Structure formats: C-alpha cells, structure tokens
Amino acid sequence: MSEPKLRIAIIYMALALMCWMFAYLVGVGQNASGGNVNPNQGANLAPLRMGLGFGMTIMGIVLAIGAGFSLGNWIWYHWNERLEERKRALAITPTVELAREISRLRPDQTALLPTAKYQVEISMAVTEHGRIYFLKTPFLDVPLVWLDHYLNVLCSRTELYPIRRFGNDSKDQKYAQAFTAWATQAHLYLAFPANGPDPAQWMSPGARERVVEMIWGEEVGE
C-alpha cells in the first residue's frame, strides 16, 4: 500500500471551503439585489441563483467528506506504521539475540558453525531427459537445477527470496517453501524464519555459500 498524502485532504478541504464561500456570496448577492433590480429580472434570476448556491453547497459537502476520508486514511496508515515499529522494537526474542551474536562473528568463526556435521541427503531420479538430482527435505524434494537458480540468482547475501513473490500454489512457491523450511531449522544455523513482512534472513553473510558447499559437495561423486 502506497503512503497516503496529507496534501490531498488539505486540497479537498480548501475546495470545499471555496464552494461554501461561493454559495454564501450567491445568497448574499441575491438578498442585497432584491430591491435594486427589476422585479421581473429578479424573479428570473432567483431560481438560477438558488440552484447555483444549492449545487455549490452540495459540492462542498462532497469535497469535505472526501477530505475527511483522506485525512482518516492518512492517520490510519501512520498509526499502523508506528505500531509496526513498536512491535519490531519490542520483538527481542532468543532468535533475535542469537542473530546479533552471530553477526558479531568473523568469517573464519562463522565457518565453524555446526553445519559441517549435518549430512545433506541428495536423491536421484532417472527420466527420459537423464538424471535429476533433488535435495531431500522433510517437506518436499527440491530439484537441484531449480535450487541452483534460486540460490545464485534470486537470493541475496543477506536474505532468501520472498516466497510470496512466486505464484500461489505454483511449483516454484512449493519448492521455495520447502527449502526455506529446511534452511531455517535451528540445528543448521543457516537462516532465520520470516518475520512478518520481512523474508527469511541468512544468519551470516557466508551462509548462502555454506549451503551451496553443503549441497553440491554431497552431490560430487554421485
């Protein structure tokens, strides 16, 4: 959702005031000219002035309602922004504390995290197009061809590619969900789960490279 603009409400309200001022001036002019014009001319102009004044009054009311909605939308948006900031500020969980500690480690220290003890399971299927290798996860087997593109093209060094950007119920989304669930398992020390609108984050700058080494290192020699 794009940020609402306060100036829209101000413009609407200014236009509403102009409409009401015009309607007021039309009414004042009608009363002031009542005795100074030809009665027939005054009678002819009276319905026009009345209709014009009524129309401008209604238009002013519509613009004022629009200004009220715009102002309310602006207030609601910024109120929610403040609530989200407060939630993030208060979300000091063990996971966040662990992320802070890991972020202080040097590259040579992060390389010593216990992922090396984990044995990656690679499966293979023989098809008419040849052998296809998969990363076995508790959720879904993920093709290594797809995973290679996902890790090296879509993911950055700081975060995993957001699952929501894939089509709903698509194969890409299911593969991304399975891999993200696998990578965010606590004992792997690879990535933190998604937090609200923020996608899953790598635990350290070298975590993505460790994943590549873990998976394709297991594939060598198959």
Contact 218, 119 (CB under 8 A): yes
- Domain boundary among the residues 55, 90, 125 is at 90
Q: Do 77 and 135 fall within a single domain?
A: no
Residue 220: predicted pLDDT: 34
DSSP bridge partners of 133: 124
The verdict on residue 43 lying in a domain is yes
The verdict on residue 142 lying in a domain is yes
3-state SS, residue 33:
coil
Q: Do 208 and 102 fall within a single domain?
A: yes
Helix (H) or strand (E) run with residue 219 in it:
helix 207-219
Residue type, 194: A
CA distance readout (Å), 98 to 75, 144, 145, 190: 36, 30, 32, 12
- Domain boundary among the residues 50, 68, 90 is at 90
Residue 153: predicted pLDDT: 93
- Tell me the pLDDT of the chain (222 aa) as tens digits: 567 888 888 999 999 899 888 888 877 655 555 545 455 555 566 677 788 888 888 998 999 999 999 999 889 888 888 887 666 555 545 555 555 555 555 555 555 454 444 567 888 888 888 888 999 888 899 999 999 999 999 999 899 999 999 988 899 999 999 999 999 886 677 888 888 888 999 988 788 888 888 888 744 333
Q: Do 67 and 114 fall within a single domain?
A: no
CA distance readout (Å), 179 to 84, 173, 199, 212: 28, 10, 13, 13
Q: How far, in Å, CA of 175 to CA of 168, rounded?
A: 12
Helix (H) or strand (E) run with residue 190 in it:
none
Residue 160: predicted pLDDT: 94
Q: Do 83 and 99 fall within a single domain?
A: no
The verdict on residue 1 lying in a domain is no
- Domain boundary among the residues 68, 90, 112 is at 90
Q: Do 128 and 212 fall within a single domain?
A: yes
Number of independent structural domains in the chain: 2
Q: Do 35 and 101 fall within a single domain?
A: no
> Which residue from 1, 15, 12 is spatially nearest to 69, judged by alpha carbons?
12
Q: Do 70 and 126 fall within a single domain?
A: no
Q: Do 86 and 99 fall within a single domain?
A: no
Range of the domain at 118: 95-219
Work out the burial of residue 207: count CB atoms within 10 Å of its CB; fewer than 13 is exposed, 13-18 middle, 19 or more buried. Answer: buried
Q: Do 51 and 159 fall within a single domain?
A: no
Q: Do 69 and 10 fall within a single domain?
A: yes
The H-assigned helical ranges of 128-170 are 144-149
The DSSP annotation for 4-22 comes to PPHHHHHHHHHHHHHHHHH
